[in-house]
Amino acid sequence: MMKLAVFASLIAGSSAFAPAQVGRASTSVQAFENEIGVLPPTGFFDPAGLSDGISQEKFDSYRLAELKHGRAAMLAVLGYIAPETYRFGFDIAPGVSTNDIPNGVAAIDFIPALGWAQMIFLIGAVDYWGVLGDFGFGKPDLGDKEDERKLQELQHGRLAMLAFLELLRHDSQNFVSPGFDGLDNMITGLPFMYGN
């Protein structure tokens, strides 16, 4: 068995020294390589080939979904970290205070069914109608920096999606095996936040 494992690793490792195949770039790369969000060194990154042969409208709908998920992830990261340091102290349901609900994954069992129904309805309404409203304020005139700000928002959203997944992974592992990392708090580099 050991010989088979060594042989398999040698075969897999030898492919690193094989000459690279030079081929034509796909049409999707050529069509979308100048879009906002395409950055060096990866360029237009679509390893699953989701953009092969799609129209500009379909690409724009994918980009809108990425932007929406990025915005939701930015809020999720804040919502995940904020209860570590501050509690608002209001009742989320009759007799259930936000002070009594634990942080992170452990909160799933403590939120009553009506609380879940409220959250699902609000998220569904925002997703169906698009926004909570167009208030006409809070929209700065960016002028020639608009493309730069759009790129920054995409990048921050991409980072927030990864950050939220890591927070969820870490908290889930800590929920299953408490103290697996030997740390008492989620935010370890800032002990003053916990009054230490």
How confident is the model over 82-118, as pLDDT tens digits?
888 888 888 877 888 888 888 888 888 888 888 888 8
Q: Is 29 in contact with 43 (CB distance < 8 Å)?
A: yes
pLDDT band at 176 (very low <50, low <70, confident <90, very high): confident
Average pLDDT rounded to a whole number, residues 143-160: 91
Question: Tokens representing 173?
Answer: 């592992």
Average pLDDT rounded to a whole number, residues 20-24: 45
pLDDT of 59? 92
Tell me, what DSSP letter sits at residue 102? P
pLDDT(195) > 70: no
pLDDT of 103? 84
How many residues does this entry show for the chain?
Answer: 196
Q: Which residue has the higher pLDDT, 37 or 11?
A: 37
As a whole number of angstroms, the distance between CA 186 and CA 167 comes to 9
Residue located via tokens 């390893």: 47
As a whole number of angstroms, the distance between CA 167 and CA 104 comes to 9
End-to-end CA distance of the chain: 52
Q: Is 51 in contact with 63 (CB distance < 8 Å)?
A: no
pLDDT(25) > 60: no
Q: Is 44 in contact with 128 (CB distance < 8 Å)?
A: no
Residue 188's SS3 state is: coil
pLDDT of 110? 84
Question: Residue 190: enclosing H or E segment and its boundaries?
Answer: none
Answering whether pTM is above 0.85, one says: no
pLDDT of 21? 47
Residue 58 burial (CB count, 10 A): 12
**Preceding omega of 41 cis (within 30 degrees of 0):** yes
pLDDT of 12? 54
